[in-house]
Structure 1
């Protein structure tokens, strides 16, 4: 983990974030959380405690009753819908359990999508594919890949535009243990290489062990956890 620079805004800040479900049950209770550049954090907890809700709030896909989420110093609640969409395109990268690779696009085209959405040249997609071990596979289609290879494509797509923050929701949930180990090692290496911060939600202690620190979401708050390495 890289040391924090006091003159640089954290990649992510959650300030007194409060969220309730429709029943009135408090899911997040004035939650405070900060994440610096290059830091990889895993969030664990029982099903239904609000882990995915927290990711959605961070991404600006859901709204809290109170509190603020700041990404690279920008308060999401202050942004218009268009500005929030631009922030997600420019500052965030997403890795999902189900990959969400576009089936009719080549691997190169899939990875280039964030670059094109941000008005950037697509050429870095080729180098990013090579970085995740898929050199020479630019013109392959997703149907030609294994699950582990598809997750490598998803990681390349999440990182290619050099986002400030990666959000990963159960990224190894569809992978066997050996492939999961390889993919998480790759994700950690690429996070460190690019300087992105990352939040990973997972039920797996083996997956969480790849993070710099592990937090447990329980009773509306995040608690430090120590896992065997």
Structure 2
């Protein structure tokens, strides 16, 4: 019997406090397996963005470890952490963060070029997110929903182990948000990437396999009843 694959992401006893002794994370433990989609919810200011930043190695915990594919990112040099982010992580943000002077194909190809990989897969990913034949278009020619599709293609193009999505539908209308989240879920599942979605939206969280609430420095399972009807609508 082969050993179980290690988690794509593991947080071990993460502690983080800010000036004034405000504790944000208090010994947080968490693991996310390949292909799993989890949503993190919580009130504003509880530390959701801080948690994402710690996972990405953009901030340092006061103590504890973050492991990406079994590698403790918090113990790497800055250069090594940057290489790990380029290779193992994909990011989807509320503000899209596409480069306005680059074509769609060039935007999606950025992670490939940073990793020394051939850029041809960019066109495949654009087709996968419903933008076939649009590679030469510029971002100004797209709607908000289309721009978020470009962001998803860019996040997945280099086959990362972990996708971090920070309020990716916050600027979209409900129908477009539903379409974008369905696409993100389907493409992440197809690639086997683990996905962490940070959101205030219960409708968005319903796309996840499990929903956790960040409160009092720890993650807690969300009540299932309020999400049941939303999950049913997702699968309809």
TM-score range for the pair, normalised by the shorter chain length: over 0.9
Distance in 2 between residues matched to 1:7 and 1:123, nearest whole Å? 33
Equivalenced residue count is 225
| Cα distance, 1:7 vs structure 2 | 2.8
Paired residue for 2:12? 15
| Cα distance, 1:6 vs structure 2 | 4.4
What TM-score do you get using the length of structure 2 for normalisation?
Answer: 0.94
After superposition, the Cα gap between the structure-2 partners of 1:187 and 1:100, relative to the gap in structure 1 and judged at 3 Å, is same
Which shifted more, 77-86 or 170-179?
77-86
Point out where structure 2 has 5 or more consecutive residues left out of the alignment.
Answer: 232-236
After superposition, the Cα gap between the structure-2 partners of 1:6 and 1:35, relative to the gap in structure 1 and judged at 3 Å, is farther
| Cα distance, 1:171 vs structure 2 | 0.3
Give 1:200-215 correspondences, 5 Å limit: 200-215=197-212
Paired residue for 1:81? 78
Which shifted more, 183-192 or 6-15?
6-15
Of the three residues 146, 168, 172, the one matched with 1:171 is 168
Distance in 2 between residues matched to 1:192 and 1:87, nearest whole Å? 21
Q: Secondary structure at the match of 2:82?
A: helix
Query: Residue by residue, what CA displacement relative to the aligned partner does 1:114-154 show, whole Å, maximum 9, x if unpaired?
Result: 00000000000000000000000000000000000000000
- The two structures, once aligned, show a CA RMSD in angstroms of 0.8
Point out where structure 1 has 5 or more consecutive residues left out of the alignment.
Answer: none
Distance in 2 between residues matched to 1:15 and 1:26, nearest whole Å? 16
Paired residue for 1:150? 147
Higher helix fraction (1 or 2): 2
Give 1:8-157 correspondences, 5 Å limit: 8-157=5-154
Query: Residue by residue, what CA displacement relative to the aligned partner does 1:166-202 show, whole Å, maximum 9, x if unpaired?
Result: 0000000000000000000000000111000010100
Paired residue for 2:188? 191
**Segments ≥4 residues shifted beyond 6 Å:** none
